[in-house]
Amino acid sequence: MPVNLEVPARETLRPVAGVDIGTAMAGLRKANRRDVLVMRLPPGTAAAGVFTTNRFCAAPVQVCREHLAASGGAIRALLVNTGCANAGTGARGLADARASCDEVARLLGCEPAQVLPFSTGVILEHLPMQRLLAGIETAVTGLGSGDWLDAAQAIMTTDTLPKAASREVDVGGRRVAVTGVAKGAGMIRPNMATMLGCVATDAALPQALLARWVREAADVSFNRVTVDGDTSTNDSFVLLASGASAAVVADDAAPGAAPLKAAIVEVAQQLAQAIVRDGEGATKFIAITVERAASPAEAAAVAYAIAHSPLVKTAFFASDPNLGRILAAIGYAGIADLDVDGIDLYLDDVHVATRGGRHPAYREEDGQRVMKQAEIGIRVVLGRGTAATTVWTCDLSHDYVSINADYRS
Amino acid sequence: MPVNLEVPARETLRPVAGVDIGTAMAGLRKANRRDVLVMRLPPGTAAAGVFTTNRFCAAPVQVCREHLAASGGAIRALLVNTGCANAGTGARGLADARASCDEVARLLGCEPAQVLPFSTGVILEHLPMQRLLAGIETAVTGLGSGDWLDAAQAIMTTDTLPKAASREVDVGGRRVAVTGVAKGAGMIRPNMATMLGCVATDAALPQALLARWVREAADVSFNRVTVDGDTSTNDSFVLLASGASAAVVADDAAPGAAPLKAAIVEVAQQLAQAIVRDGEGATKFIAITVERAASPAEAAAVAYAIAHSPLVKTAFFASDPNLGRILAAIGYAGIADLDVDGIDLYLDDVHVATRGGRHPAYREEDGQRVMKQAEIGIRVVLGRGTAATTVWTCDLSHDYVSINADYRS
């Protein structure tokens, strides 16, 4: 059961001028579900991406990096499949990823290096190429002006709901759309990238600016969520600027640059949080804020130690204010000179711990009240400096075990 | 259900000359179960310990460190309680730990600094001092020459079985006993120490030698097991030499030193593995060996990445050879220059992956056969150097979630 997350209403997802979407049911892993997406982009589109830091990165991720470099970001199509990650597949996996780009390029009349491939699903298995190539042809035949909900549905794996978000902003007097989709529910601890996210705008941006914005947006969105601490082999987040709206943003100081960037960050954060809300087996949505850390890295280390602790996560599942487990996680987060006497811990508005121990006024029933909520804030004040960060995560339930024990069956 | 673990037969646990054991049912958390242990040691005993690296270390751990320093290791008693960890309890927790040592010292006629206190159980709650002091008196009254199975039972928390191990070795013509107990099932990822382990011998050893041996034994036993990656606030491992057998080991070169040290390591490893076999919800016992790493730290990083991955652990629970999850964990273990083309992965005798991808001869049914076993070996060959290590862990099952969602109720 996703936490406060619904299927986005189709009419709230603004089409992005110039971007066409086509999907197919190719039967890659399961019958009768969309599993192939082709997104066609107009000439003049700029694209930039960030990708997994996992050393076992998937073949499509390697090809994405090559094609972005070779084309200078002048991308004309995305190809996404679900059901097979094409990771841990060696030389044959690379050849398969390249062959699928070749087929998209042939059908759309562009260079193979202008196609970015993305795969998610089971690792260590080869792509069923015949079915995939047939699916590509179907998807290209069906290309129509952008229905982003179709796109969101076509990239789902263990997701229970499609994930999409959209904003409209004014750039130099022109209305510009910012719309994105994402997928992911397990193997989620993006590290410099995310499971699979794509945000597009019809504003025109130079590729260098886009390349910086995609990193900055990832750092405050997809790079701040975790479900199970498992960094995937396939994490990818791309930002696309079709330019079809004729609104131009040349640099950070241009009119409309600030609201456009804010809209991109908002869409990315909404998508990233949607991944956590639909985290495998999630029943709670938990925001962990660490304040007054000595450095951003230290703040993140403490936040992730809490977010990854199976004991903290099962306590949230049980609505059990066994909050000493949070202190234990702070204590093993790797800060060698941490003085626990300077630490305060809050659960929403409830002051739980101070000076290394239980707050004198803390009452179990106050902790219990907050633990029963579907949305919970943990705030840790380290008292060491001025850095802060927020990480979003979910609890660990029986359903997480069921989903991942049954995933391939 | 513990994995291939049984209650040790009482007659296999050799008493350690000079060591007396007393227990009590003090009702600290639950009625009608042993929850207090007092171990009396003879004059001339040397003790050394290693303790948690968690910065939120418990009050008893702080007092242990103080007392070992103040007494030079000339310890006369251990006091262990279960049901309350006395961690995250601030100044009052420290005072409580000291007051319990004072009481043991008064009853036994030694200095408070010659008593080492240990607590495990719930964090962020205060010790019920009145019941604990009454329990201490009962335990001291019942002190009798060493029944180590009683000791093992008295320190259990979520353990389903008592954990004890024993060896007998020849030291310079004298028979010497090496016997130990341990507890722990959850919040297990000891780091330079362990949950709670105590190994005693009736040989006589200088404290400096003992202090080195306890670190070396911990590094190949308790520091190589993990259940859930949560490093506890209370991890402690102590090594005791009562000297009552009159067998003396002055240094590493002394007659009998090598077999004695080997026996200590064997007992420590058996206890550490017993903790994993009885890991919360465990249904599989998994040994992860990483070979040909560039450094011991690198080998451990890869082994722990695999051991802590919830996706790997749930796949083992399901007996599902979804082995790409192991590659993903290797890939995010933090080795920046890892060349995946040099990696081989084996499941027992089955060659699963080579050169960054699926081994051409690997068949799913071979993986399936091994996954169904109760004891499984994972072997990763990194092809980078000569370092190696082995880490022992268990799977992640529904029962882990149940146990930790219900722990305090």
Q: Each residue of B96-108: pLDDT tens digit? A: 999 999 999 999 9
Q: Each residue of B350-394: pLDDT tens digit? A: 999 998 889 999 999 999 999 999 999 999 999 999 999 999 999
In this structure, which amino acid lies at residue B393? T
| Contact yes or no for A231 and B332 at CB 8 A | yes
**How far apart, in whole angstroms, are the C-alpha atoms of residue A334 and residue A338?**
9
**How far apart, in whole angstroms, are the C-alpha atoms of residue A393 and residue A304?**
9
Q: Each residue of B100-133: pLDDT tens digit? A: 999 999 999 999 999 999 998 888 889 999 999 9
**How far apart, in whole angstroms, are the C-alpha atoms of residue A148 and residue B84?**
54
User: Could you give the ipTM of this predicted complex?
Assistant: 0.80
**How far apart, in whole angstroms, are the C-alpha atoms of residue B2 and residue B26?**
27
| Contact yes or no for B311 and A228 at CB 8 A | yes
Q: Please tell me which residue of chain A has the smallest CA distance to B319.
A: A405
Residues of chain A with CATH 3.10.20.340: 285-406
Q: Which residues of B are catalytic?
A: 194
Taking one residue from A and the other from B, the number of pairs with CB-CB distance under 8 angstroms is: 223
**How far apart, in whole angstroms, are the C-alpha atoms of residue B111 and residue B382?**
53
If one counts every other C-beta atom within 10 angstroms of the C-beta of residue B188, the result is 26
Q: What does the pLDDT read at residue B75? A: 95
CATH 3.90.340.10 fits A285-406, yes or no: no
Q: Please tell me which residue of chain A has the smallest CA distance to B404.
A: A314
Q: Each residue of B264-285: pLDDT tens digit? A: 999 988 988 888 898 888 999 9
Active site residue A390: no
Contact A148, A163 (CB under 8 A): no
pTM score, two decimals? 0.83
| Residue A99: partners with Cβ closer than 8 Å, 6 or more residues away | A129, A133
**How far apart, in whole angstroms, are the C-alpha atoms of residue B143 and residue B78?**
12
**How far apart, in whole angstroms, are the C-alpha atoms of residue B276 and residue B393?**
6
| Contact yes or no for A406 and B122 at CB 8 A | no
User: Which of B379, B309, B380 lies closest to B338, judged by CA?
Assistant: B380
**Alpha carbon distances (Å) from B272 to A30, A92, B269:** 44, 43, 5
Q: Kindly state which CATH superfamily the domain B10-277 is placed in.
A: L-amino peptidase D-ALA esterase/amidase (3.60.70.12)
| Contact yes or no for B400 and A310 at CB 8 A | yes
Burial class (CB in 10 A: 0-12, 13-18, 19+), B27: middle
Confidence check: pLDDT of B193 > 80: no
Query: Residues in chain A, how many?
Result: 409
Token pair for B150:
């009683």
Confidence check: pLDDT of B191 > 60: no
Q: What does the pLDDT read at residue B195? A: 65
Q: What does the pLDDT read at residue A353? A: 94
Helix axes A324-331, A296-308, angle to 10 degrees: 130
Q: How many helices (H) and strands (E) does chain A have?
A: 11, 16
Show which of residues 323-382 on chain A sit within 8 Å of chain B, judged by CB atoms. Answer: 323-325, 327-332, 335-336, 338, 340-341, 352-353, 355-358
Burial B268-297 (b: 16+ CB within 10 A, else e): bbbbbbbbbbbbbbbbbbbbbbbbbbbeee
**How far apart, in whole angstroms, are the C-alpha atoms of residue A85 and residue A87?**
5
Residues of chain A with CATH 3.60.70.12: 10-277
Q: What is the pLDDT along chain A (409 residues), one digit of tens a residue?
A: 788 888 999 999 999 999 999 999 999 998 899 999 999 999 999 999 888 888 888 999 999 999 999 999 999 999 999 999 999 888 999 999 999 999 999 999 999 999 999 998 888 889 999 999 999 999 999 999 789 999 999 999 888 899 999 999 998 888 999 999 988 877 777 654 456 788 889 898 888 998 898 888 888 888 877 777 777 777 888 898 988 898 899 999 988 899 999 999 999 889 888 888 988 889 999 999 999 999 999 999 999 999 999 999 999 999 999 898 999 899 989 898 999 889 999 999 999 999 888 999 999 999 999 999 999 999 999 999 999 999 999 999 999 888 888 756 4
* A234 contact B CB<8A: no
**How far apart, in whole angstroms, are the C-alpha atoms of residue A36 and residue A263?**
28
What HEC string does A1-14 produce?
A: CCCCCCCCCHHHCC
Token pair for A348:
């929403």
B246: pLDDT confidence band, cut at 50, 70 and 90?
Answer: confident
Q: Which neighbouring-strand residues pair with A379?
A: A289, A346
B407: pLDDT confidence band, cut at 50, 70 and 90?
Answer: low
Q: What does the pLDDT read at residue A218? A: 83
